[in-house]
Chains A and B, each alone.
Chain A
């Protein structure tokens, strides 16, 4: 037996794979969040045409994160990525008050999707680094989150730019996957 195969045997069982879908309106900060999760440089980000995908190791999981572009024109394609989703992360630009209604509508439509039924949802109230950002509580109220009964959900304020709040959100993600898989 070669050294390599011994080493391979010593390595513990491969991490459990988790499929995470990252959605939200354009300019919400999905790609910045994705790059933060993967500890990559966030200073050269451009609008997402299509999607980005990255795999991140976290707490014994291999998180496969799908970041889908949010522009209105490509929202009809979102549904192509619903299948087998373990957790939905919905990103909101907390400072873009003019589009709260639009983002609320998109979220409501997602929660009505059959393929996403029962999928835990984490809402990131992003861009808290901006002075004009609405607090998470205000957003939760505006979106009527308390009426969600068919799944576990959580709202987390964060700043994808500074990284604040992201780890807390991801801890919730891992916890909800654990409780779901048990």
Chain B
């Protein structure tokens, strides 16, 4: 309770006075101090985001909701309002612009991911079908698929004869992630699949992948991936960066599962939660960068 009262008092009154005092003492505003105090990355962008969102100025608060093409204009207006001269602060403009690209980019990335997720897998859609067949070819290059509906799908970890019912709440997003992993990290994906087909420690490759897509999606939705993207993408993160994160999760989950040696596949959700906790902890580090490091 006391914490809440303190937070309320701090954010509504004290923070403002502190800022004013420091401004009088140093002659710089909070945004300037952030931009000169931190190098590029999560610390700078997260602090900028907080400063802008809690600002009393409508212009500053509005900047985090601006669209990508209007950001340049917004930066100019902020510099004018805060009376920051480009000549004396050469780095400020670029720093703020990059941070704003990252902040607004995260929100638009979520919107694009949500669009792909909401697209249901549809057997009548030739593009969806082509993606599915390509997934098979990349994972099982030496085995031909006997027909579109076949038990063979079980070999790459779908549940039944037709993968179409397995995408469910993740829609085409689940398929796109599976395909991206096989396309860009073919060796790694095949290695993971071979582990998944282990007679004792195995699991269903494709549906575990769809479950990991759900993990990546909910992490993105909750804002937990901010630091990761601010550190790894020096601009607006795009769909491919989300797919990259999925690749990290798929590869790392496999390592985790093998190391933990679960008694049976029935314990999947328990180990999924444990893995989720590990990832969450990593994401709390402001220097986090979750990139797939494949063994050479």
Interface positions of A (Cβ within 8 A of B): 26-27, 42-47, 49-52, 70-74, 77, 80
Q: Closest CB-CB distance, B210 to chain A, in whole Å?
A: 5
A180 to B151 Cα, complex, angstroms: 42
Q: List 14 A-B contacts (CB under 8 A).
A: A27-B160, A44-B170, A45-B168, A46-B213, A47-B159, A47-B166, A47-B211, A49-B207, A49-B268, A49-B269, A49-B272, A71-B207, A73-B159, A74-B266
> Which residues of chain B are within 8 angstroms of A47 by Cβ–Cβ distance?
159, 166, 168, 204, 207, 210-211
B154–A44 touching, CB < 8 Å: no
Q: Closest CB-CB distance, A54 to chain B, in whole Å?
A: 12
> Which residues of chain B are within 8 angstroms of A42 by Cβ–Cβ distance?
169
B214–A44 touching, CB < 8 Å: yes
A42 to B169 Cα, complex, angstroms: 8
> Which residues of chain B are within 8 angstroms of A27 by Cβ–Cβ distance?
159-160, 165-166
**B218 at interface by CB-CB < 8 Å:** yes
B160–A49 touching, CB < 8 Å: no
Q: Closest CB-CB distance, A157 to chain B, in whole Å?
A: 21
For B199-242 the 0/1 string (1 means CB < 8 A from A) is 00001100110110110011000000000000000000000000
Measured CB to CB, the nearest residue on chain A to B160 is: A26
Interface positions of B (Cβ within 8 A of A): 154, 159-160, 165-166, 168-170, 174, 203-204, 207-208, 210-211, 213-214, 217-218, 264-270, 272
A147 to B139 Cα, complex, angstroms: 47
B154–A73 touching, CB < 8 Å: yes
A50–B269 touching, CB < 8 Å: yes
Q: Closest CB-CB distance, A70 to chain B, in whole Å?
A: 8
> Which residues of chain B are within 8 angstroms of A50 by Cβ–Cβ distance?
265-270
> Which residues of chain A are within 8 angstroms of B170 by Cβ–Cβ distance?
44, 46
* Number of A-B pairs, beta carbon distance below 8 Å: 67
Contacts A47-B204, A49-B272 known; list 16 others, CB within 8 Å: A26-B159, A27-B159, A27-B160, A46-B207, A46-B211, A47-B166, A47-B168, A47-B207, A49-B203, A49-B269, A72-B154, A72-B160, A73-B159, A77-B264, A77-B266, A80-B266
> Which residues of chain A are within 8 angstroms of B270 by Cβ–Cβ distance?
50
**Chain A at the B interface: SS class:** loop
Measured CB to CB, the nearest residue on chain B to A31 is: B168
Measured CB to CB, the nearest residue on chain B to A25 is: B160
Measured CB to CB, the nearest residue on chain B to A42 is: B169
Measured CB to CB, the nearest residue on chain B to A50 is: B268
Q: Closest CB-CB distance, A75 to chain B, in whole Å?
A: 11
Best-buried of A26, A44, A46, A80 by chain B (most CB within 10 Å): A46
Partner of A71, one of B160, B174, B217, B264: B160
> Which residues of chain A are within 8 angstroms of B169 by Cβ–Cβ distance?
42-46
A49–B208 touching, CB < 8 Å: yes
Measured CB to CB, the nearest residue on chain B to A71 is: B159
Q: Closest CB-CB distance, B274 to chain A, in whole Å?
A: 13
Q: Closest CB-CB distance, A120 to chain B, in whole Å?
A: 25
Partner of A46, one of B214, B264, B267: B214
Measured CB to CB, the nearest residue on chain B to A99 is: B160
A74–B265 touching, CB < 8 Å: yes
A42 to B168 Cα, complex, angstroms: 10
Q: Closest CB-CB distance, B197 to chain A, in whole Å?
A: 11
Measured CB to CB, the nearest residue on chain B to A52 is: B269
Closest 7 A-B residue pairs measured CB to CB? A50-B268, A71-B159, A49-B268, A27-B165, A47-B207, A44-B169, A45-B169
A129 to B232 Cα, complex, angstroms: 45
A52 to B168 Cα, complex, angstroms: 17
Measured CB to CB, the nearest residue on chain A to B118 is: A43
Once A44-B218, A80-B266 are accepted as A-B contacts, the answer to whether A49 and B165 lie under 8 Å apart by CB is no
A117 to B185 Cα, complex, angstroms: 51
> Which residues of chain A are within 8 angstroms of B174 by Cβ–Cβ distance?
46
Q: Closest CB-CB distance, B164 to chain A, in whole Å?
A: 9
A51 to B272 Cα, complex, angstroms: 12
A49–B154 touching, CB < 8 Å: no
> Which residues of chain A are within 8 angstroms of B211 by Cβ–Cβ distance?
46-47, 49
> Which residues of chain A are within 8 angstroms of B217 by Cβ–Cβ distance?
44
A45 to B171 Cα, complex, angstroms: 10
Partner of B210, one of A46, A74, A80: A46
